[in-house]
Amino acid sequence: MGNYLINLIIYMKNYGFKYEEREDDHYIVGQGNIAKRVIFEDGHGWGRYRPKGEVQYNKHGIDGWTCVLHSICKAIGYEMNRRIAEGEMSKEELDWLKDNELTYIVNGKLEFDANDIVLAVLSGAKGRGTSLQNGAETLRESGLVGQDVYKDWENARTVKELLKSLPQSVIDKSEKFLEKYEIKHEWLFDSKNCPAEQKKVLIKNGFKNAVIQVAGAAWLKDTINSKGYYGYTTSSANHAYIIEDYEELNDLLEKTIAHDTYIKNNKYTKDLAPEYLFWQAKQFYIISKFKQEKNMQYTLHQRPEESEIYVSFEGDSDKFHIKDEDMFKKMFGNFADYKDKIIHEDFPNSDIQETLYFKNSFIKLILSFFTKLGKKK
């Protein structure tokens, strides 16, 4: 009887991740369904778009073990924050996100922030956690709402109250998200059929396209190495979170950087050693149905026997004078990288516009190229 009670307590003190083995009929992107866009050639850079840190329990310390759903919301947040920061969203899309309470000003920046509690209730989680697959499918079929759309959970005193049934208006608003966005997800790997070294390769390559939702054992003090990294344990996976980047030393994986829902040393990030065991991993892709902003097409010009450089925009014969190398560098980068792209041709003086500052297309050019320059860093 004593062992039964101990086992029951261990079972009831579960965490947010429930293992569900990958099946052939699981919803899979890829196979021609979606063209994955390479965002970072070297896989580094997602940390610039990290959503604000949030714990997965409320002010009364009530934890609904919603890590799977919380990390899904963060995965979408990274990509949406990137699109916002890089000027890839139209005014129509930005206005829609604002009107539907999906964006907020965080530390002076506009950020995307979805409500994981609503997603948890829709997933059927009752304080016992759920699987990566169920969480992903809930997102794909039920959508998202903004953080402030539903706040009842903040004052909950029990897990049952935290994850109580939602008002129909909240469910409707969540589904409305899917009118504007389509969600795709895919397995990156499943630990039961993926060797550890192959996982490392898949993770590094995966960062080129998106951050990665992973499941593993959390967070055992006796696994921390001399560098402060969490290492290998035989314990089963009980937690889901996001990994956003990695570091290498002499071409070997040195550590993986996690963004988590539990604070350690006043930080939401944790460093994971190369031997840390990831059980499963998924990636998410969000397809906007809004018309997307496109960087303006341009052409560089130079007249014969002249040193001045001019720029024109698609559909416009006006040539704008780039007055010096400093201006060129601010707009495009190093002149040497563009010498071969200059069109050498004569054109009438009437095409030349001496001032750039009152042309809307120039403003768009500056914005688009600051975006491009940011991606090169």
How confident is the chain (377 residues) per 10-residue block, as mean pLDDT? 38 68 62 68 94 92 94 97 92 94 92 96 92 95 96 94 96 97 92 85 94 94 92 90 91 88 90 93 94 66 85 74 72 71 84 52 46 45
* Residue 234 burial (10 A CB sphere; 0-12, 13-18, 19+): exposed
Q: Is residue 240 part of a domain?
A: yes
The DSSP symbol for 48 reads G
The beta strands (E) that lie in 294-365 are given as 298-302, 309-313, 319-322, 343-344, 352-353
CB 207 within 8 A of CB 40: yes
278 with 340, same domain? no
**Amino acid in the structure at residue 214:** V
Strand partners, 190: 280
Task: Specify if 3 maps to a domain.
Answer: no
Last-in-domain residue among 270, 288, 306: 288
Whether residue 206 is found in the same domain as residue 64: yes
**Backbone phi, psi, residue 146, to 5°:** -70, 160
Contact criterion met (CB below 8 Å) for 47 and 257: yes
- Cα 50 to Cα 63: distance, rounded to the nearest angstrom: 23
Q: Are residues 129 and 241 in the same domain?
A: yes
Asked if 359 and 247 sit in the same domain, the reply is: no
Give which of 135, 145, 137 is closest to 177, Cα–Cα: 145
Report if residue 293 sits inside a domain.
no
Domain match, 316 and 190 both: no
- Whether 311 contacts 319, CB under 8 Å: yes
21: Cβ contacts below 8 Å, ≥ 6 apart: 190, 192
- Cβ-contact 240, 260 below 8 angstroms: no
Rounded distance between C-alpha atoms, residue 105 and residue 51, angstroms: 11
Question: Residue 329 has which token pair?
Answer: 């560098």
Q: Which pLDDT value is given to residue 377?
A: 43
Q: Identify which of 30, 284, 10, 240 has the alpha carbon closest to the alpha carbon of residue 140.
A: 284
Q: Model's pTM, two decimal places?
A: 0.74
| Token pair listed for 223 | 């696994």
Contact by Cβ (8 Å): 119, 150: no
User: Between the CA of residue 376 and those of 33, 46, 131, 293, 370, what are the distances in Å?
Assistant: 28, 13, 37, 19, 10
Q: Which two tokens stand for residue 166?
A: 């939602």
Q: State which of 232, 254, 288 marks the end of a domain.
A: 288
CB atoms within 10 A of CB 163: 23
| First-last CA distance in the chain | 62
Same domain, residue pair 89 and 226: yes
Three-class SS state of 35: coil
DSSP state of 165: P
274 and 344 part of one domain: no
- 14 in a structural domain: yes
Q: In which domain, by residue range, is 317 found?
A: 298-376
Give the Cα separation of 257 and 268 in Å (integer). 10
User: Domain containing 139 — which CATH number?
Assistant: 3.90.70.10
DSSP letter (8 states) at residue 230: B
235 and 343 housed in the same domain: no
The answer to whether the CB of 290 falls within 8 A of the CB of 279 is: no
Whether 171 and 196 share a structural domain: yes
- Which of 288, 307, 328 is the C-terminal boundary of a domain? 288
The DSSP secondary-structure symbol of 146 reads B
275 & 327 share domain: no
Q: Which residues contact 44 (CB under 8 A, 6 or more apart)?
A: 207, 245, 246
Instruction: Give the separation between CA 117 and CA 44, rounded to whole angstroms.
Output: 30
Sign of CA dihedral 27, 214, 122, 115: negative
- pLDDT at residue 246 in the model: 95
344 and 283 fall within a common domain:
no
Beta strands 103-106; 239-249: pairing state = unpaired
- What's the number of domains the chain is made of? 2
Name which of 319, 328, 373 is nearest 348 in CA terms. Answer: 319
Looking at the structure, do residues 230 and 335 belong to the same domain, yes or no? Answer: no
Q: Residue 211 domain-assigned?
A: yes
Rounded distance between C-alpha atoms, residue 347 and residue 204, angstroms = 49
